Chain A
């Protein structure tokens, strides 16, 4: 496979990932702001965003800290929010398992909702992609957002209250993720899984953050797989 096609996969991933900056940057700034208000130093805010690199769980940790929870409760609650990423990891394995270990190790670090959702829809839509192309595409989806995530956290931490109230960008995230996932609904089994996911996630929303979505996702995967199995019989 030629270098140029790997490059074009990277470029395509990069372009597809760009709209997610609209979501990621305000989120990063908000995180930095809330973290400083919760008493973290600027160094701690930057380290948190760099080494954990998982916004929803970082905000969850802050919420628990604001409630003065014990350290282990803060960690456990925030980690529950990240458990869905084990599913992302498993779901990527058939597509990326053949990549060298260092590349898989890198992708593990940058495997977030956006990079995962954008990349997996691409892998499904274009099964002819080579493994290096898939890796390049994945890296492309997040390469702009990753530094902005850390910079945004820093800006939120230092500029804090000086920032204007953001406009109604809160709805950008639902719109972008729905737009990524909708074209992936190709069969009745996909549709049933998606509907199960929505209904179950809302029904389980009384559970601690991150736990409900795990149960909902297991249920939805089982529904999808079972329908596929029966239709194949």
Chain B
């Protein structure tokens, strides 16, 4: 490692302030004002627009296999999504996915 203590503390300090400002941004500054309808219409899709894209590479190119696509993980992910959607419940989905992953890993 080629960084001095000052440099490390700078990285930590700047990241702390910048990360906080990113998180505070809209929630803090817009406050209770109503945003325009077209903005709200887009924001309604934030969770389904961010989380699937964040997770998909982890499912298709998992680190644990060195990025090699693993049928066990694909099937377990599919089981998770299907059951969570069908039951409308996170825990059922997670349970189905974990069980599928466990059984298939044990079998293969």
Listed in ascending order, the chain A residues whose CB lies under 8 Å from chain B are 16, 19, 38-41, 44, 47-48, 51-54, 57-58, 61, 65-66, 68, 71, 74-75, 78-79, 82-94, 96-98, 101, 104-105, 107-109, 111, 113, 116-118, 120-121, 168, 170-185, 189-190, 193-198, 200-202, 205, 212-213, 216-225, 228-229
Contact = CB atoms under 8 A, between A and B. Distances in A.
B101 to A, nearest CB: 6
Given A89-B27, A170-B62, A201-B53, 20 more contacts: A47-B12, A57-B15, A61-B11, A65-B1, A71-B7, A87-B43, A89-B26, A90-B25, A90-B43, A93-B43, A97-B30, A108-B23, A171-B76, A179-B80, A181-B51, A182-B85, A202-B60, A224-B48, A225-B38, A229-B41
A75 B11 contact: yes
Contacts of B14: 75
Interface of B: 1-3, 5, 7-16, 18-20, 22-28, 30-35, 38-60, 62-64, 73, 76-77, 80-82, 84-85, 87-94, 97-98, 101, 105
Contacts of A182: 80-82, 84-85, 93
Given A170-B62, A176-B94, A225-B42, A121 B32 contact: no
Contact of A91 (B5, B46, B53): B46
A104 B31 contact: yes
Q: Helix, strand, loop or mixed for chain A's interface?
A: helix
A92 to B, nearest CB: 5
Contact of B19 (A16, A79, A117, A180): A79
> Nearest 6 A-B pairs (CB), nearest first?
A201-B53, A39-B1, A224-B45, A179-B93, A220-B49, A91-B46
A178 B76 CA distance: 11
Contact of B46 (A51, A97, A189, A217): A217
A135 B4 CA distance: 41
A103 B58 CA distance: 33
B72 to A, nearest CB: 9
A48 B12 contact: yes
Contacts of B54: 84, 113, 177, 201, 213
Contact of A86 (B26, B52, B62, B98): B26
Contacts of A184: 47-48
Contact of B23 (A85, A94, A225): A85
A90 B46 contact: yes
A167 to B, nearest CB: 10
